[in-house]
Amino acid sequence: MKRLLVVLFMGTIVLSGCATLSKEECMTADWHQIGYEDGAQGYPDTRIASHREACAEYGISPDFKAYQDGHKEGVTRFCTARNGFAQGKQGYDYTGICPPSLEGDFLKGYQAGHEIHSVSSTLSDLRYEQSSNEREIKDLRSKITDKTNLMLSNETTIDNRYRLNQEISQMQQDLGGLEQRNKQLIADIARTQAKLSALEKQSVHF
C-alpha cells in the first residue's frame, strides 16, 4: 500500500510539471526505494538527474548507487509480459528500459496491449464521428423542414420560394452525403468492435 501511494504521488508530480521531489522528501529520501519506484513505473535510471535537480536547491545530492540498485530491482517488476500488456493497453510509450534478458517477454505483452490500445482509440474516434455526424443529420433535417414550411407559406414571394427551393435542394444533397457516411461509420464501428473483441479474447493469458 505504501508503494502504491508513492507511485500515485510521483505520477501526479510528473503530470503537473513540478519538481520530482519536495524539500521534505529530499531530506528524508530513501534513494533505494525511490530508484525502485522509478524502475517499477518504467522510468529510465536517467530520471535521477531530475531528482538531483530537485534536491540541489536544498544542498542534498542523491545516493547514486542506492538509487541504481533500487532501480534494477524495480525494473524486474516492470519488465514482465503481464505488465507489458497492461502498459501497452494504456498507451505507454516504451523507450527500451528493459534489459535484454527481460525485454522479450515484456514486448510480447506490450505489443498485444498496444494493438488493443490502437484499435480502442480507432473505435473511440469512429464513435465520436458518428455521434457528431448524427447531430448534423438531425440539425439539417430540422432546417429542411423549416425552409420547406417557409417556402409553402402563402406569405412567401415567388422569388423567395425559388431561392428557398434551391437552398433545400442543396441541403438535401448534403443530407444524403451525411447519411451515406453514417452508414459507412456504422459498418466500420461494427468491424472495429469485432476486431477489438477478438484481440481481447486472444490476450486472456496475459
Q: What is the mean pLDDT of residues 29-38?
A: 96
Separation CA 110–CA 91 (nearest Å): 10
Between 70 and 1, the more confident residue is: 70
Q: Each residue of 156-205: pLDDT tens digit? A: 999 999 999 999 999 999 999 999 999 999 999 999 999 999 999 999 88
Burial string for 164-196 (b: 16+ CB within 10 Å, else e) reads: beeebeebeeebeebeeebeebeebbeebeeeb
CB 106 within 8 A of CB 80: yes
Q: 144 CB contacts (<8 Å, ≥6 apart)?
A: 168, 171, 172, 175
pLDDT of the residue at 9:
38
pLDDT of the residue at 19:
83
Separation CA 188–CA 124 (nearest Å): 11
Q: What share of the chain is helix, strand, coil (3-state, %, to 5)?
A: 80, 0, 20
Q: 59 CB contacts (<8 Å, ≥6 apart)?
A: none
Q: Give residue 91's region: left, alpha or beta (phi > 0; psi -120 to 50).
A: left
Three-class SS of residue 20?
Answer: coil
Q: What is the mean pLDDT of residues 53-65?
A: 94
Q: 42 — phi, psi (to 5°)? A: 90, 15
pLDDT of the residue at 95:
87
pLDDT of the residue at 14:
40
pLDDT of the residue at 1:
41
Q: Each residue of 93-129: pLDDT tens digit? A: 998 999 999 999 999 999 999 999 999 999 999 999 9
- Residue found under cell 494493438: 115
**Extents of the domains making up the chain:** 2-78, 112-202
Separation CA 97–CA 152 (nearest Å): 71
Between 206 and 198, the more confident residue is: 198
pLDDT of the residue at 18:
65
Between 74 and 5, the more confident residue is: 74
**What is the radius of gyration, based on Cα positions, of the chain?**
28
Q: Which pTM was predicted?
A: 0.76
Q: Each residue of 1-29: pLDDT tens digit? A: 434 334 433 444 343 346 899 999 999 99
